[in-house]
């Protein structure tokens, strides 16, 4: 491999790591800010609970002083009643006294209500205080972790920046300019070629371009994504060997009654090329859809009654059955994205299945056909 390509590989790795570190450093204050927002919320809760307790206290005092006033009025009416001349006047005073007594009872009820609430208020205030204390401790801890992590990342960033500068120094200026331009738009400026494919955009190279990349004599960029292409014989030799053994072997045919089945569909519900995986278990079946190019899982995992041929008959139309068997735990562990080894294995089996189908076709179509008369 040419030294400038080796430097570009080192540069791409440094760029990727620098990007990751910068993202991580930028993300740390956000974690702290989120806890701080939670803390502010708890503080507001506490203030509210305290405010409510204060309002209760003020109301209680208001009702108590109202009772005092009413009691004053009653004793005033009693004094007056001793001096009245007529029965009517006496009756009127008695009525006033009764009315005031009724009002006193009303105020006493309200005081009782407030008192019954005091317990709840106390609990609210205490809970908010405890939460505030816990959150304050947590935020200090988080801030500490963030500070430490930032310091570590900053140190790594200095190291990676030095590696980056060294790598850049070893690449020709025009090549570097091209790399920078593509990296700015696509996130990376360099791609490996394996099995005649650009590993970044997955587009097949023309044979001549492929040979030029392999020879490594001059800089070749991908027609489709413009990334600078390089070829690593160590990687591709493994691939070629794997493909060679796979092609030599007769293609194993998937079992009809296997508990797991993989299918390829060139077109599936506007999703383009997909792999479908079905699993039968306990009288029902589940279906997963994966993008055949990126390996990303599409849509939700779907479960239906009955084994998959009964549950998902419409999905099997125009499909190619493939070999593939991974445990459900494996599939769940992929985190919604098939590993490259799985994509490669399915792709290889698909190639073999297609080759087999075309051999089959040419055999059945080799029946002599009458040639139309020359015009
Ligand atoms: Zn490409």
- How remote is the CA of residue 221 from the centroid of ligand 1, in Å? 8
pLDDT higher than threshold 80 for residue 328: no
pLDDT value at 374 more than 80: no
Instruction: Tell me the whole-structure pTM to 2 decimals.
Output: 0.49
Q: How far is the CA of 199 from the centre of ligand 1 (A)?
A: 7
10 Å CB burial of residue 243 (0-12, 13-18, 19+) is middle
Q: 81-126, pLDDT tens digit by residue? A: 888 889 999 999 999 999 999 999 999 999 999 998 888 888 889 9
Which residue would you say has higher pLDDT here, 242 or 147?
147
Q: How far is the CA of 181 from the centre of ligand 1 (A)?
A: 14
For ligand 1, the distance from its centroid to the CA atom of residue 87, given in whole angstroms, is 112
Greatest alpha-carbon span in the chain: 144
pLDDT in tens, 263-283: 999 889 888 899 999 998 888
Residue 188 alpha carbon to ligand 1 centre in Å: 11
- Give me ligand 1 centre to Cα 92, in Å: 103
For residue 78, is pLDDT > 80? yes
The answer to whether the beta carbons of residues 301 and 286 sit under 8 Å apart is yes
Q: Give the list of residues 6+ apart from residue 291 with CB closer than 8 angstroms, or none.
A: 271, 272, 273, 274, 297, 298
Q: Taking the CB of residue 288, how many other CB atoms lie within 10 A of it?
A: 23
Supply the mean pLDDT for the chain: 88
Is the confidence at residue 365, as pLDDT, over 70?
A: no
Residue-level pLDDT at 64 = 96
Contact 324, 348 (CB under 8 A): no
Q: Which residue has the higher pLDDT, 100 or 32?
A: 100
Q: How far is the CA of 229 from the centre of ligand 1 (A)?
A: 8
Measured in angstroms, how far is the CA atom of residue 5 from the centroid of ligand 1? 16
190 alpha carbon – ligand 1 mean position (Å): 9
For the chain, the residue count is 375
pLDDT higher than threshold 70 for residue 246: no
Average pLDDT over residues 214-230: 92
Band the pLDDT of 375: cuts 50, 70, 90: very low
Q: What is the DSSP-derived secondary structure letter of residue 292?
A: T
As a whole number, mean pLDDT of residues 147-155 equals: 95
Over 80: is that where the pLDDT of 372 sits? no
- What is the Å distance from ligand 1's center to 161 Cα? 27
273 secondary structure, DSSP code: S
Q: What percent of the chain has pLDDT over 70?
A: 92
The answer to whether 3 and 170 are in contact (CB under 8 A) is: yes
pLDDT computed for residue 70 by the predictor: 96
**Residue 206 CB contacts under 8 Å (≥ 6 apart), including other chains:** 223
User: Which residues have C-beta under 5 Å from ligand 1, the single-atom ion?
Assistant: 198, 200-201, 222, 224-225
pLDDT at residue 369 tops 50: no
Distance (angstroms) between ligand 1 centre and the Cα of 204 equals 8
Beta-ladder partners of 192: 230
Q: What is the mean pLDDT of residues 307-316?
A: 89
215 Cα: distance to centroid of ligand 1 (angstroms): 18
């Amino acid at each position: 491999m040419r030294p400038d390509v080796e430097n570009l590989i080192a540069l791409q790795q440094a760029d990727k790591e620098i990007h990751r570190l910068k993202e991580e450093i930028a993300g740390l204050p956000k974690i702290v800010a989120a806890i701080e927002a939670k803390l502010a919320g708890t503080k507001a809760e506490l203030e509210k609970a305290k405010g409510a307790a204060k309002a209760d206290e003020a109301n209680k005092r208001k009702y108590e002083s109202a009772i005092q006033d009413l009691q004053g009025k009653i004793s005033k009416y009693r004094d007056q009643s001793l001096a009245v001349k007529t029965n009517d006047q006496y009756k009127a005073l008695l009525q006033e006294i009764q009315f005031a007594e009724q009002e006193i009872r009303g105020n006493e009820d309200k005081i009782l209500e407030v008192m019954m609430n005091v317990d709840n208020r106390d609990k609210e205030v205490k809970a908010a205080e405890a939460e505030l204390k816990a959150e304050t401790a947590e935020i200090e801890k988080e801030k500490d972790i963030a500070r430490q992590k930032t310091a570590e990342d900053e140190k790594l960033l200095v190291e990676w920046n030095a590696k980056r500068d060294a790598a850049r120094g070893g690449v020709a200026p025009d090549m570097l300019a091209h790399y920078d331009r593509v990296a700015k738009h696509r996130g990376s400026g360099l791609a490996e070629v394996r099995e005649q494919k650009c590993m970044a955009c997955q587009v097949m190279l023309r044979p001549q371009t492929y040979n030029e990349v392999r020879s490594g004599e001059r800089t070749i960029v991908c027609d489709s994504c413009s990334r600078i292409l390089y070829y690593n014989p160590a990687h591709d030799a493994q691939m070629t060997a794997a493909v060679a053994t796979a092609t030599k072997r007769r293609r194993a045919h998937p079992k009809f009654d296997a508990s797991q089945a993989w299918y390829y569909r060139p077109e599936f519900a506007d999703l383009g090329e997909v792999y479908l995986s079905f699993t039968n278990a306990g009288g029902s079946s589940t279906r997963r859809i994966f993008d055949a190019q990126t390996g990303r899982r599409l849509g939700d995992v779907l479960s239906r009654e009955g084994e998959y041929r009964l549950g998902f008959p419409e999905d099997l139309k125009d499909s190619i059955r493939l070999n593939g068997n991974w445990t459900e735990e494996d599939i769940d562990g992929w985190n919604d994205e098939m590993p490259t080894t799985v994509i490669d294995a399915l792709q290889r089996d698909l190639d073999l299945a297609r080759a087999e189908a075309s051999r089959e076709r040419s055999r059945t179509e080799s029946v002599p056909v009458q040639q139309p008369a020359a015009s």
